[in-house]
């Protein structure tokens, strides 16, 4: 017995206690952590992230770490840590429900704008704003399981097309009344961040089977959604909105209100998450590790088909 304690959070995730994370992690502790991560989807380590060593040691319990492809996000001198926030990369922000926010990112699954869905990520809070900056998580496996049988049948074999959405999506699917307005054009953001200008289209199945747990879940990643393959835009949008409205119900969600040094790990293959943003004049800084072993569930959309999606 490792002596670890797991306290269930709202509707997804568990809070972990019962170990000193400044010390090397014993094999039985590592085994229990990994099993709990697969079971709960999200693990929270309250105020555990005292330094980068703790963050990296805990991350490696869940696998090797990956170098993030966006080099502009690397923490100086490190390939295994990227940062979110700080003042250098803040940009002009977004108007979200009438307030100017930094760090807002609509609901998504990491790297769903590539063929390979990220395995998971671990975030550590380094600088806190006075308010805001929460992270929301939803359980895409339980949401899939609870869908009406007819909807699950309709989803069988369906694929959706995705594109890295550097400005807010056309519509905040599943969040009626929520308004988001970019304060820079996509071209301006691409230039500021140094992204490649030709953003590819990606084709993903809308349901995936978890490679380790066998859980079936929805792959929605609403922030990068373009269209469901083979559907007219209006029909596709209506169905996508129906699915996201279902997913964003409270019984599938958890809102993490950060404390300094909190560490949160999520399984990106069975969760959707969202950064709610914080007042633009304030500073928030978080460091993230990314687990190697992405799930190769998607593919680049064929050039011949791109004409179809380009009209959407
Ligand atoms: Fe993310």
**pLDDT on residue 186:** 86
The whole model's pTM is what? 0.94
Question: Is the pLDDT at 135 greater than 60, yes or no?
Answer: yes
| Ligand 1 centroid from CA 267, angstroms | 11
| Ligand 1 centroid from CA 110, angstroms | 5
| Ligand 1 centroid from CA 120, angstroms | 10
| Ligand 1 centroid from CA 111, angstroms | 8
Which fold does the domain 5-310 belong to in CATH? Double-stranded beta-helix (3.60.130)
Rounded-to-10 torsion of CA 39, 42, 289, 4: -70
| Ligand 1 centroid from CA 273, angstroms | 6
Alpha-carbon distance of 260 to 49, in angstroms, equals 8
pLDDT tens column, 169-215: 889 999 999 999 999 988 888 888 777 778 899 999 999 999 999 99
* In the chain, where the domains are located: 5-310
**Picking from 25-29, 78-82, 105-109, 249-253, which range would have the lowest pLDDT averaged per residue?**
78-82
| Ligand 1 centroid from CA 244, angstroms | 17
| Ligand 1 centroid from CA 121, angstroms | 8
Position 304 confidence tier, pLDDT thresholds 50, 70, 90: low
| Ligand 1 centroid from CA 89, angstroms | 16
Taking residues 113-139, report their average pLDDT.
Answer: 97
Taking residues 140-150, report their average pLDDT.
Answer: 98
| Ligand 1 centroid from CA 242, angstroms | 22
| Ligand 1 centroid from CA 309, angstroms | 24
| Ligand 1 centroid from CA 109, angstroms | 6
High-pLDDT (> 90) share of the chain, %: 81
């Amino acid at each position: 017995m490792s002596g670890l304690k797991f306290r269930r959070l709202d509707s997804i995730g568990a809070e972990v206690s019962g170990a000193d994370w400044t010390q090397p992690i014993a094999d039985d502790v590592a085994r229990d952590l990994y099993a709990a991560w697969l079971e709960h989807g999200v693990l929270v380590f309250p105020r555990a992230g005292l330094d980068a060593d703790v963050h990296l040691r805990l991350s490696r319990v869940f696998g090797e770490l990956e170098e993030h492809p966006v080099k502009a996000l690397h923490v100086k001198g490190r390939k295994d840590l990227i940062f979110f926030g700080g003042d250098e990369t803040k940009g002009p922000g977004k108007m979200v429900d009438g307030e100017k926010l930094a760090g807002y990112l609509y609901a998504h699954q990491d790297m769903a704008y590539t063929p390979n869905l990220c395995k998971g990520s671990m975030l550590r809070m380094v600088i806190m704003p006075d308010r805001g900056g929460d992270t929301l998580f939803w359980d895409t496996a339980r949401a899939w399981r609870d869908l009406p049988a007819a909807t699950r049948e309709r989803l069988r074999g369906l694929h959706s097309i995705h594109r890295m959405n550097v400005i807010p999506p056309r519509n905040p699917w599943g969040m009626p009344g929520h308004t988001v307005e970019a304060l820079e054009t996509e071209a301006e953001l691409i230039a500021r961040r140094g992204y490649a200008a030709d953003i590819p289209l990606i084709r993903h199945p809308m349901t995936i089977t978890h490679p380790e747990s066998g859980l079936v879940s929805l792959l929605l990643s609403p922030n990068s959604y373009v269209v469901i393959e083979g559907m007219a835009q209006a029909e596709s949008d209506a169905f996508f909105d129906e699915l996201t409205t279902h997913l964003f119900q409270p019984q599938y969600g958890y809102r993490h209100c950060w404390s300094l040094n909190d560490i949160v790990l999520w399984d990106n293959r069975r969760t959707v998450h969202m950064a709610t943003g914080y007042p633009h004049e304030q500073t928030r800084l978080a460091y993230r590790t990314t687990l190697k072993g992405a799930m190769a569930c998607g593919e680049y959309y064929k050039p011949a088909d791109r004409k179809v999606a380009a009209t959407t």
